[in-house]
Structures are given as C-alpha cells and as structure tokens.
Amino acid sequence: MKTTDLFSKLSKRLSSLERLKKLDDKKSIPSILEEKGVSRRDFMKWAGAMTAMLALPANFTPLVAKAAELSDRLPIIWLHMAECTGCSESLLRTDAPTIDSLIFDYISLEYHETLMAAAGWQAEHNLESAIEKYKGQYILMVEGGIPAGENSHFLTIGGHGKTGEQNAIDASENAAAIFAIGTCSSFGGVQAAFPNPTGTVALSKVTDKTVINVPGCPPSEKNIVGTLLHYLLYGTLPALDVYNRPKWAYGLRIHDLCERRGHFDAGEFVEEFGDEGAKKGYCLYKVGCKGPYTFNNCSKNKFNSHMSWPIQAGHGCIGCSEPDFWDTMGPFEEPVADRLYNTVFGGLGADATADRIGVGLLTVTGIGIAAHAAISKFKNPKEDEE
C-alpha cells in the first residue's frame, strides 16, 4: 500500500474511534498527561519514537499521538493466569512513570485483577458484565500460562470454582482482539517448564481465535503499549512471525541490535564474569548469551524507565521471549555452540564448543544462521516425556 493511502486509511480508522463515546468519566488522556507534568513536546517526542518503532514514516507521528489519546475508547479486559504478575508490574510500578505506563493507567481497564478494587463475588460479576456489555468490542489481554484440560483445576478463580481456563475461553469468545502478554501466556512460561506439573499451556492452545503473542519475561512496556497502539491505528492484526509475535517488535534478533556486537565480530569475548573483558564491555557469548537465538528489541526499549537491559547490565540474554526458553536455552551462563553448530554444520561432533570451533568460524558464519531452525533442534527435555 502506498504511504499516502495508508495515511488516509489510518486517519479514517482514528476518526471512527473518535466518534465512539469515551467509556468512563475520567479526564482525557492529554489532560492527565499534562497534570502529571508531561509537556506536549515530550508527548510528541514519545509519539515520534513509537512511530519509528512501529516502522511507520515520521510524518505519521500525529496519527500515533492521536491513537494514544484515543486509547481510552477501547474497553480492555485483562486476565491473570499462572504467572508472577511481573508483566503488569513492569508496566505500572515505577518510581517515575513513563508515558507508556501513564497511558496504561488511564485506559479503560474494565477488569484487571491486580488493579481493580472489587473482590470476590463482585469481581466475578464485573467480569461477566464487562464481557456482556462490550461483546465483540473489547481487547482481551491475558497474562500467565493456563493449566488446561484435566489439569485445569490447578487454577480456579473465585467462589464457583471456575477454572482459569474456562475464564480465558469465555473471554476469548467475544473479544475483538486477543493479546497474550508475556512469555507465560504466549508459550506457557516458567510453570510449563519440564516437567510441567500443572499441565500449563499457552493461551493460543485454549482458543481457536488468533492470539497476538507479546512475549518476554516480562515484555517491555513499549512492546505492550505498541501492540495496543497498532490495534488502535489499524484495527487489524499486525504482521506476525511464525510464533505470532508482531514483526515490528520481534523481527530482529537481540544479536542484530546489540551494542556489544562489534566485540563479537572482532572476536573479543568475556571469558568469565568480572574479568578484564567484562570491564571493557566485551561480547557475552562465551558466558552464555543467547542473543543470537532470541528475537526481541530489548536494546531499543530497555527496562526500568528505559535505564538498562540485561546485556548492558553485564549478563547475557537468557532468551526470555522464545518458546520453551527455560528448557531449551539453559544452562544460562554457558554457550550452546555445541548444539547449534552440531545442527547447522553436521560433522563438528557433539562436544564442539565455541572455543574449539574458534573465533574465526564464529565470526565468519555469524552465529544466527537459521536461528529458528537451530533452536528447534535444541534438545528439549519435554521431548523425553513423549
């Protein structure tokens, strides 16, 4: 589609959203931001960064700003399943709330178990009435993996003993769009790690509807808010990768966007934590960095009010936005070169390591050749179960 056609398509979508009634009597998002000391200039700067993140041309910035301002027109139902609540916490609990978290605080969260005041029967009633009232219009965001089937009793919610699985199925039925927030909801997460005692599965396994996965343990606030903005702007699904992750956020590897990449290419590695190489900010591959096999944009978004991210802090990426990373990416502080190179090049022998292969080969081949394919060949303890 030509850029001008896209611009008018998105403008039309926003005009139709603007005609929708505001869902609650809270102040508008622009006035709340102003109250919180966010200047219009800062807001437009933020919108410019989000525009770039969503891979839109810079002249779309006013549309992205408007989408953010209209984000209180869409009702949102947020369900918690089996997880640590880190996804919600990462977005909302910060000393100096970012624009992303402020927006999140003021969108129309019709139901969010961590944030709402209601409890017990009243909470159950709120969920049912939100689903009924906003049938076909609400965005369903689900955090956490789902103990399913004969194991669904491991997660029951409320007084009727209704399972989390049933809640997720019922809420999915009438949602306009479904986002799995975090690795647990996207792929099962920590509770689904071997031997998965609670039979936990991804949200996409309990509904036939398309689920947009926003993984990360936790995902960055920008990837959560960006997914919402994308839906506000387009009203349709974003381009997705094979794991249903939005390509604008998960299209490149950690390794492709890493500030230590020059050291990798130059063969300069941290050999052990605390050594000279570590002090010089060398590449963390030999101390276990899984950035070459992990698709995410952490170096751009960072965490803790955009202060830092794992590799900047001095530890390798552990692959937290990949399916089954607890089982496939360990040990977290050792390289997996043996498995990878054994897979990609066949004849290197099962115990070939980054050291034996040598820096030359590491550098020439670029570790990530067919990274997805290679990861799928990693030994996964789950396979032993079958």
CB-based contact 323:255 (threshold 8 Å): no
Tell me how far apart the alpha carbons of residues 294 and 317 are, in angstroms, rounded to a whole number: 8
Shortest CA distance to 14 belongs to which of 49, 56, 65?
Answer: 65
Sheet strand arrangement including 139-143: 109-112, 76-80, 139-143, 177-181, 212-214
In angstroms, the Cα distances linking 270 to 337, 338, 365 are 15, 18, 20
Decide whether 26 or 300 has the Cβ nearer to ligand SF4.
300
Tell me how far apart the alpha carbons of residues 201 and 220 are, in angstroms, rounded to a whole number: 22
Decide whether 69 or 338 has the Cβ nearer to ligand SF4.
338
260 binds ligand SF4 (CB under 6 A): yes
Shortest CA distance to 60 belongs to which of 69, 73, 47?
Answer: 47
> Which of ligand F3S, ligand FSX, ligand SF4, none does residue 309 bind (CB under 5 to 8 Å by kind)?
ligand F3S
Range 217-241 burial, b when 16+ CB lie within 10 A, else e: bbbbbbbbbbbbbbbbbebeebeee
In the region spanning residues 271 to 330, those forming contacts with ligand FSX, defined by CB under 6 A, are none
Q: Among 283, 320, 362, 374, which residue sits at the site for ligand SF4 (rule: CB under 6 A)?
A: 283
> Which of ligand SF4, ligand F3S, ligand FSX, none does residue 296 bind (CB under 5 to 8 Å by kind)?
ligand F3S
Q: How far apart are CB 218 and ligand FSX at their closest, in Å?
A: 4
318 binds ligand SF4 (CB under 6 A): no
Q: How far apart are CB 321 and ligand F3S at their closest, in Å?
A: 5
> Which of ligand FSX, ligand F3S, ligand SF4, none does residue 289 bind (CB under 5 to 8 Å by kind)?
ligand SF4
* Phi, psi angle pair for 179, to nearest 5°: -115, 130
Q: How far apart are CB 143 and ligand F3S at their closest, in Å?
A: 16
> Which of ligand SF4, ligand F3S, ligand FSX, none does residue 255 bind (CB under 5 to 8 Å by kind)?
ligand SF4
Shortest CA distance to 253 belongs to which of 338, 314, 193, 322?
Answer: 322
> Which of ligand SF4, ligand FSX, ligand F3S, none does residue 184 bind (CB under 5 to 8 Å by kind)?
ligand FSX
Radius of gyration of the chain (CA): 22
Decide whether 168 or 318 has the Cβ nearer to ligand F3S.
318
Q: Among 255, 303, 320, 354, which residue sits at the site for ligand SF4 (rule: CB under 6 A)?
A: 255
One-letter amino acid for residue 214 of the chain: V
> Which of ligand FSX, ligand SF4, ligand F3S, none does residue 189 bind (CB under 5 to 8 Å by kind)?
ligand FSX
CB-based contact 272:287 (threshold 8 Å): yes
Q: Which residue numbers belong to the known binding site?
A: 84, 87, 184, 217, 255, 258, 283, 289, 298, 317, 320
Decide whether 235 or 314 has the Cβ nearer to ligand SF4.
314
369's CB contacts (< 8 A; 6+ apart) are 344
List contacts with ligand SF4 (CB under 6 A). Answer: 254-255, 258, 260-261, 264, 283-285, 289, 291-292, 311, 316-317
